[in-house]
Amino acid sequence: MGSIIEVRQVNKAFGALQVINNCSIEVAKGSITGLIGPNGAGKSTLFNLIAGTFAPDTGQIIFDGEDITAIPSDQLFHRGLLRTFQIAQEFSHMTALENLMMVPPQAGESLLNTWLRPARVQQEEAQVRQKAMDVIEFIGLKHVRNELAGNLSGGQKKLLELGRTMMVDARVVLLDEIAAGVNRTLLQDLIRNIQRLNQELGYTFLVIEHDMDMIAQLCDPVIVLAQGSVMVQGTIEEIQQNEAVIEAYFGNDAH
């Protein structure tokens, strides 16, 4: 299927601290790729580089054949490359449904359009509302669509965040520790929704996660990052049996 994300020999330092060290990875189009590694391996920094939060010192980042190394995150967002925490936190005093409706730009956001094209504004609002209804049903939150988002559980908020990616027709979603703070029941809902978005809508995912059960259920391949560069890549079974990975995670406690 080819690669949709390519990181080519990227380096990033903060002062004297070299965080990403000549790192190269590829994410296949249509895959759910896991990115794991011990604390301090550079996973979140690599996500920030791919998402355009900041630029690498050297190297290239390619998105679907285009060099995006110097393109900021807001432009990448509108091209369909999203990082989950990059999307605004929930508006706690708005309903879950209203939170979804806030994501796509609408004609009504222009005062001139409100005055001169009221029919167009009403039509767009109706279309956005219907899409939000479809999304909230897809992610299994229809029963809380009118609940204030601030009252949702941590897991429901994560599902809502996943739903926001559907409001802008994402192509690649970078998921950073989405399982954190989510109970096991809602975690399975999250996993099912990620799989459905991948299989039914063709989303590509790159997933940072410490929950190895989630990685095992979702991800193939899995990339292991250590000291800012790729240590090994393979299936979760190959990763779990790799002595170098065990040593990196557990050190002397591994034996």
pLDDT tens digits for range 112-150: 554 556 667 678 888 999 999 999 999 999 999 999 999
The domain locations on the chain are 3-90+152-254
pTM of the predicted model as reported, rounded to 2 decimal places = 0.86
pLDDT at 86: 47
CA distances to 20, 69, 142 from 41, rounded to whole Å, are 8, 21, 39
Question: Going by DSSP bridges, is the β-strand pair 222-226/229-234 parallel, antiparallel, or unpaired?
Answer: antiparallel
Superfamily of domain 3-90+152-254: P-loop containing nucleotide triphosphate hydrolases (3.40.50.300)
CA angle 99, 73, 63 (to 5 degrees): 115
**Distance in angstroms (rounded) separating the CA atoms of residues 167 and 215:** 25
pLDDT at 21: 97
State which amino acid sits at residue 238: E
Give a three-class secondary structure readout of 125-189. HHHHHHHHHHHHHHCCCHHHCCCEHHHCCHHHHHHHHHHHHHHCCCCEEEEECCCCCCCHHHHHH
**Distance in angstroms (rounded) separating the CA atoms of residues 73 and 71:** 7
Residues of the chain with pLDDT under 50: 86, 88, 106-111, 114, 252-255
Can you tell me which residue has the tokens 């063709």? 202
